[in-house]
């Protein structure tokens, strides 16, 4: 006996989209447990460092940070020593140097990369694709390969940004050499990321603006820049953290204005007698990047996800 199924009675199987499937996989109990375990493993060393920064020097040298739960003892002496103006381990000047180095080293690459990315994405000029490939290829060049050529370039005319034979009073151009170096190293990645984001913007939007009489300057300033803010913020956060935590470029080009990372390497003393102060110095160096990341977290996530999903 054959059963006749009325037309339309058989419903099609529900189709689960890729975003919903990914969300279901990532919100499973096992994924949540793995995230909790990773968060604990990542947080415990940082928590130990924070606790040690408030412990007396004798306790830090003799017992582990977990002993604070059985015999608590706290002090602010470590922070007083690294922040006091009369202390030999004062990091306030190095903190100011780091801020002065980081802000231009973030703003200058963004300023140049946005215009270059727009030119590669929406302007026509000879050998555009070849030039973009060359810019992309610069990302694989190790920084260490460029240090000696840049050092020689800065020492020769017309730059004269760094002293050739050192001296007690190095020129103020040391800041310019650090800014230029960070800009040079950041531009390939910045142009590549911002170019890919610009290419995701519908071409009809650009064509409609051209029909209304807008030129490249108006399109770039009034259309592209507002739409690119998430991507710019994402790269800005990455570049800020990179420059703030940099040590290699600072040791080569920033000898006249040593940043916080250089001071932290010298904080242990010649015989390591001051190494407990590293705990306080480390958190002094972490305060501003932590504030910047928390404040820009929403834009950072939007910038990372921008252009990843169409429709």
Q: Kindly report, residue by residue over 88-127, the tens digit of the pLDDT.
A: 778 888 889 999 999 999 999 999 999 999 999 888 888 8
Residues 165 and 239 in one domain: yes
> With 80 as the cut, is the pLDDT of residue 25 above it?
no
Mean residue pLDDT across the chain: 80
Residues 52 and 109 in one domain: no
Residues 140 and 251 in one domain: yes
Please list, in sequence order, all residues whose beta carbon lies within 8 angstroms of the beta carbon of residue 143, skipping any fewer than 6 positions away: 185, 248, 249
What is the spatial distance between Cα 137 and Cα 128, in angstroms, rounded to a whole number? 14
247 occurs within a structural domain:
yes
301 occurs within a structural domain:
yes
Q: Identify the domain containing residue 102 by its residue range.
A: 92-305
Average pLDDT of the residues in 3-20: 54
Instruction: Decide which of 48, 75, 102 is a domain's last residue.
Output: 75
> With 50 as the cut, is the pLDDT of residue 30 above it?
yes
Residues 295 and 148 in one domain: yes
Query: Per the structure, how many domains does the chain have?
Result: 2
Task: Return the pLDDT at 170.
Answer: 45
Residues 189 and 253 in one domain: yes
> With 80 as the cut, is the pLDDT of residue 66 above it?
yes
70 occurs within a structural domain:
yes
173 occurs within a structural domain:
yes
83 occurs within a structural domain:
no
Residues 134 and 204 in one domain: yes
16 occurs within a structural domain:
no
Q: Give me the CATH number covering residue 150.
A: 1.10.3720.10
Residues 115 and 43 in one domain: no
pLDDT in tens, 270-293: 556 677 788 888 888 888 888 888
Task: Return the pLDDT at 15.
Answer: 56
Residues 46 and 126 in one domain: no
Task: Return the pLDDT at 304.
Answer: 59
pLDDT tier for residue 59 given thresholds of 50, 70 and 90: confident
160 occurs within a structural domain:
yes
Residues 170 and 241 in one domain: yes
Q: What is the token pair recorded at 95?
A: 């903190």
- Please tell me which residue, 157 or 213, carries the higher pLDDT value: 213
Residues 120 and 62 in one domain: no
Residues 66 and 119 in one domain: no
Residues 245 and 104 in one domain: yes
283 occurs within a structural domain:
yes
């Amino acid at each position: 006996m054959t059963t006749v199924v009325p037309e339309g009675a058989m419903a099609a199987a529900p189709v689960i989209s890729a975003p919903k499937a990914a969300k279901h996989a990532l919100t499973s109990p096992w994924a949540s447990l793995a995230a909790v375990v990773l968060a604990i493993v990542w947080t415990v060393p940082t928590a130990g460092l924070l606790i040690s920064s408030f412990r007396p020097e004798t306790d830090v040298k003799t017992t582990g940070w977990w002993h604070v739960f059985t015999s608590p003892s706290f002090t602010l002496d470590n922070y007083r020593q690294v922040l006091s103006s009369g202390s030999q381990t004062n990091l306030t000047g190095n903190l100011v140097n780091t801020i002065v180095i980081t802000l231009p080293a973030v703003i200058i690459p963004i300023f140049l990369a946005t215009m270059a990315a727009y030119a590669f994405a929406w302007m026509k000029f000879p050998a555009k694709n070849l030039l973009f490939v060359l810019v992309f290829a610069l990302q694989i060049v190790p920084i260490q390969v460029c240090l000696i050529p840049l050092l020689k370039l800065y020492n020769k005319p017309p730059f004269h940004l760094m002293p050739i034979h050192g001296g007690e009073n190095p020129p103020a151009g040391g800041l310019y050499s650090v800014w230029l170096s960070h800009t040079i190293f950041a531009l390939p990645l910045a142009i590549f990321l911002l170019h890919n984001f610009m290419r995701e913007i519908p071409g009809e939007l650009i064509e409609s603006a051209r029909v209304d009489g807008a030129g490249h300057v108006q399109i770039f300033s009034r259309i592209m820049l507002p739409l690119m803010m998430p991507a710019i913020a994402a790269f800005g956060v990455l570049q800020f953290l990179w420059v703030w935590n940099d040590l290699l470029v600072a040791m080569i080009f920033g000898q006249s204005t040593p940043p916080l990372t250089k001071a932290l390497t010298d904080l242990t003393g010649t015989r390591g007698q001051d190494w407990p102060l590293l705990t306080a110095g480390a958190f002094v160096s972490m305060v501003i990047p932590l504030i910047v990341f928390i404040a820009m977290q929403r834009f950072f996530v939007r910038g990372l996800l921008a252009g990843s999903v169409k429709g």
